[in-house]
Amino acid sequence: MQSATLDQPPAATPDPQAVVQALRAVLPRHGLLWEAEDTTPYECDGLTAYRQRPMAVALPENNEQVQAVLKTCHRLGVPIVARGAGTGLSGGALPHARGITLGLSRLNRILKVDPLARTATVQCGVRNAAVSEAAAPHGLYYAPDPSSQIACSIGGNVAENAGGVHCLKYGLTVHNVLAVRGFTMDGEPFELGGEAMDAPGLDLLAVFIGSEGLLGVATEIVVRLRPKPLLARCVMASFASVRDAGDAVARIIGAGIIPAGLEMMDQPMTAAVEDFVKAGYDLDAAAILLCESDGTPHEVEEEIARMEDVLRAAGATRCVVSDSEPQRLKFWSGRKNAFPASGRISPDYLCMDSTIPRRRLADMLEAIVAMQDRHGLRCVNVFHAGDGNLHPLILFDANDPDQLHRAEAFGAEILETSVALGGTVTGEHGVGVEKLNSMCVQFTEAEREQMLGVKTAFDPAGLLNPGKAIPSLNRCAEYGKQLVRGGVWAFPDLERF
């Protein structure tokens, strides 16, 4: 069987009216939208630069309706794009022009919280923050905490393998999910993983998490809950240069300290955030680090003292330790409001997402400064410094087509530089449509063929989220022509990993 060609739409689909009629037969009256005025709100996810109205939007309310929609679309050869809360930042939920958007927000029930097993079983449309709210009476919480946690769904977190500011210590979604239940494109039910600590056979759960809706539709997820720490305190450390701040990150990890959170922001970002939420940031610093410790009071006191010693030895000009829970939350409120704060200082921004080795943080930031001059655009920086996950925000005005073009070129250069420094083109936002070309830079033809093989094993017809995450060989061949520079590898002066 040939691999699905993801950059091309599936074979000609039936007449839209016939598709709508078939779906109306398996959904309640209010469960299907097909008029343009009703489907327009679904034309994009959080990456608003790309827009496309779907043929129709299906809004099932239970597993049976999800299964019926999938079986119907599989029979008719209609593409399906699953959508959670629509907060994704890579275009993963961008609709297919001849396909159905499968909106899963109505599957929003918390089915069970088991305080003894420390697990919660939730439907895919449950908000990330709602899991911790439900577990709080038992002294438990769900650790992954992306900045959009008040809105993003657990199903979307599974699709993108979301992280958050505390993923350094507590892991990504893949480290906090025990089982996923759902359906393949042809409507067959599946269960990956299990509620036990381990499951026999190949780890297909890890393959599924982060697969961006290409392999199946998750409807129920069993997540791991953790005891709430007795105490948490945060250190805000100021630095006179981004290089000193970047070096401090490597020193902290090198000292054997694994903070609960380790975040970095440069001065343009702290200025934007401080004006927005008054977090108490040092506006004279070229960069700040937020370093959190949690655990028992004794553990926290000891770790905070060790972190302060390392930070000062690395060149910190100032260290402020939160002396109350409100102050700690204020520090983190600034970090979690970095994106909306950026929206106040620019009509539009392009949020990038890549990873690099921690030891190259300073090199990357200095490279971004040079890119600003080349592309004539500003960039503010915030990232999960502990695991080298960057989120540069390129500021531009989308009403100016030239600025949009320059912003996209700026973003592509950031991703390519990340790969050249030994990193990857995405950390937690996924590939979607935004980073398809960058996948051609990071992975070889053989590696991409293996990915297509996995996709084909789960979805032989290639109907689930086509054109996303995995570029076709033809696409990479065309993009490769754009990267040829006199036969010299891009960024020849950068040290390779």
**pLDDT tens digits for range 64-84:** 999 999 999 999 999 999 999
Q: How many CB atoms lie within 10 A of CB 28?
A: 11
Decide if pLDDT at 49 tops 90.
Answer: no
- Gap between the Cα atoms of 357 and 246, Å rounded: 11
User: Does 217 share its domain with 277?
Assistant: no
Amino acid making up residue 326: P
CATH number at residue 216: 3.30.465.10
Average pLDDT over residues 266-285: 96
- What pLDDT does 475 receive? 87
**Is the domain of 414 the same as that of 378?**
yes
**Position 130 in a domain:** yes
Q: 387 and 261, same structural domain? A: yes
Last residue of a domain, one of 227, 244, 279: 227
Q: Does pLDDT of 458 surpass 50?
A: yes
Residues 287 and 409 in one domain: yes
Whether 189 is in a domain gets the answer yes
Say yes or no: 275 and 412 in one domain: yes
CATH of the domain at 22: 3.30.43.10
Q: What is the mean pLDDT of residues 293-315?
A: 98
Percent of the chain topping pLDDT 90? 88
- Could you tell me the sign of the dihedral formed by the alpha carbons of 15, 189, 460, 430, in that order? positive
In a domain, 428, yes or no: no
Beta bridge partners of 485: 488
Q: What is the pLDDT of residue 201?
A: 85
Determine how many CB atoms are found less than 10 A away from the CB of residue 347. Answer: 12
Number of domains the chain contains: 4
Does 23 map to a domain?
Answer: yes
Instruction: Kindly state the helix (H) or strand (E) to which residue 74 belongs, with its residue range.
Output: helix 63-76
115 and 216 within one domain: yes
Taking 50 as the threshold, does the pLDDT of residue 349 lie above it? Answer: yes
In this structure, the answer to whether residues 98 and 204 fall within a common structural domain is no
* Residues 169-180 pLDDT 10s: 999 999 999 999
Q: Is residue 430 part of a domain?
A: no
Provide the CATH number for the domain around residue 293.
3.40.462.10
Domain final residue, candidates 46, 76, 103: 103
* pLDDT beyond 70 at 86: yes
Structure-block tokens of residue 444: 């070889």
Q: Are residues 62 and 114 in the same domain?
A: no
Letter for the amino acid at 307?
M
Can you give the pLDDT at residue 480? 62
- Compute the CA torsion angle 341, 345, 351, 352 (nearest 10 deg): -110
Domain co-membership, 295 together with 155: no
Nearest to 390 by CA among 427, 338, 436: 427
Name the least confident of 99-108, 167-176, 190-199: 190-199
Give the domain-ending residue among 78, 103, 128: 103
C-alpha span between 143 and 10 (Å, rounded): 39
Is 377 inside any structural domain?
Answer: yes
Contact 208, 180 (CB under 8 A): yes
Residue 140 has φ and ψ, to the nearest 5°, of -120, 165
Query: Is the domain of 235 the same as that of 377?
Result: yes
- pLDDT value at position 10? 52
Question: What's the pLDDT score for residue 5?
Answer: 41
Is residue 7 in a domain?
no
Same domain, yes or no: 221 and 155: yes
- Residue that has been written with the tokens 């979301």 in this structure: 162
Q: Taking all residues of the chain, what is their mean pLDDT, rounded to a whole number? A: 93
Residue 9 lies in a domain: no
- What lies within 8 Å, CB to CB, of 318 at 6+ separation is 237, 238, 282, 285
- For residues 394 and 459, state if they share a domain: no
Contact 135, 142 (CB under 8 A): yes
Q: Is the pLDDT of residue 385 over 80?
A: yes
Structure-token match 């998490």, residue found? 209
Q: The domain containing residue 129 runs over which residues?
A: 110-227
Which candidate, 283, 271, 228, 219, places its Cα nearest to that of 68? 219
107 three-state secondary structure: coil
